Amino acid sequence: MTQIPSSAPIIQLDNIGYQVRNDGQTLSILEHCQLHVEPGQSVAIVGRSGSGKSTLLAIMAGLEKPTQGRAFLLGQEISQLSEDECAKLRAQQVGFVFQNFQLLPSMTALENVLLPLELFQIEQAREKALAALDKVGLHQRAKHLPNQLSGGEQQRVAIARAFVTAPKVLFADEPTGNLDEQTAHQIQALLFELQQTQKTSLILVTHDMHYAHACDQVLQLQQGRLQPLKQTPTLGSGHVS
């Protein structure tokens, strides 16, 4: 696990651009994006479908490299890192939650939460996984398979899996997109609660403006550019331009 200096921002994007070539034409997905996320801060990114939100998320998480500008994750410039070095950087410091939960159907809730712990060979994995499930209120359903759980419960398992390694930053891609309104609210509350108790930075991609406005910063991705919709300096020192 790579340690970062405590003063370094969790994420920093400097003039990020991302172009792809399609049928001989260059298509610009992102242009001149700037972002600075401090530890413990929550940032929401909103935008229409196809606006490049997922690409931006991928660049922030070190899953994709920008074609222009510099992107820093946990103090390291990702363009300078190999795939494996990027992976090393993410190890136990980054968590993910997705719209479609991405649970392994043949494994129980507990076994799904155990996956990252076992991958990194963390001691007392079982106890930690059970504790994570307890935090999301699913201790009793630890032995249930995903298809025996409701959508909300499945997402809670995914959240437990994301938080079980106590990451420094959590990327959530439309985490409530597949859920009904009431369940969505419960999941949102759970995410914020865990983010705050574990002092995790949260990068949230969502369509839900109400949910987005609960974050410290709200940014809109429009025509490849990041535009601030809300900035709450009191909650953190993140800024956007």
Q: Is 146 in the site for another protein (CB under 8 A)?
A: yes
The one segment of 6-14, 24-32, 83-91, 187-195 that binds another protein by CB under 8 A: 83-91
Q: Are 11 and 169 in contact (CB under 8 A)?
A: yes
Q: In this complex, which beta carbon is closest to another protein, that of residue 187 or of residue 216?
A: 187
Q: In this complex, which beta carbon is closest to another protein, that of residue 15 or of residue 150?
A: 150
Q: Are 3 and 31 in contact (CB under 8 A)?
A: no
Among 28, 34, 92, 231, which residue interacts with another protein (rule: CB under 8 A)? 92
Q: Are 56 and 37 in contact (CB under 8 A)?
A: no
Among 4, 81, 145, 235, which residue interacts with another protein (rule: CB under 8 A)? 145
Instruction: Give the ranges where the chain is alpha helix by DSSP (H).
Output: 53-60, 83-90, 109-119, 125-135, 151-163, 181-197, 209-212
Q: How far apart are CA 191 and CA 160, in angstroms?
A: 10
Among 36, 90, 135, 168, which residue interacts with another protein (rule: CB under 8 A)? 90
Q: Which residues contact 3 (CB under 8 A, 6 or more apart)?
A: none
Q: Is 141 in the site for another protein (CB under 8 A)?
A: no
Q: Which residues contact 167 (CB under 8 A, 6 or more apart)?
A: 92, 93, 94, 95, 200
Residue 161's Cβ-side half-sphere holds a number of Cα atoms within 13 Å equal to: 28
Among 91, 214, 229, 235, which residue interacts with another protein (rule: CB under 8 A)? 91
Q: Is 172 in the site for another protein (CB under 8 A)?
A: no
> How many of the chain's residues bind another protein (CB under 8 A)?
37
Q: How far apart are CA 139 and CA 175, in angstroms?
A: 21
Least distance to another protein from the beta carbon of 172, Å?
Answer: 12
Q: Are 195 and 42 in contact (CB under 8 A)?
A: yes
Residue 190's Cβ-side half-sphere holds a number of Cα atoms within 13 Å equal to: 27
DSSP for residue 104: -
Among 93, 201, 206, 217, which residue interacts with another protein (rule: CB under 8 A)? 93
Locus of tokens 């990451």: 167
The one segment of 8-16, 110-118, 209-217, 218-226 that binds another protein by CB under 8 A: 110-118
Q: Is 98 in the site for another protein (CB under 8 A)?
A: yes
- Residues constituting the chain: 241
Locus of tokens 């940014």: 219
Q: Is 209 in the site for another protein (CB under 8 A)?
A: no
Among 26, 121, 182, 234, which residue interacts with another protein (rule: CB under 8 A)? 121
- Touching another protein, residues 12-71 (CB under 8 A): 54, 57-58, 61, 63-64
Q: Where on the chain is the footprint of another protein (CB under 8 A)? A: 54, 57-58, 61, 63-64, 83-84, 87-96, 98, 102, 104-108, 111, 115-116, 118-121, 145-147, 165, 173
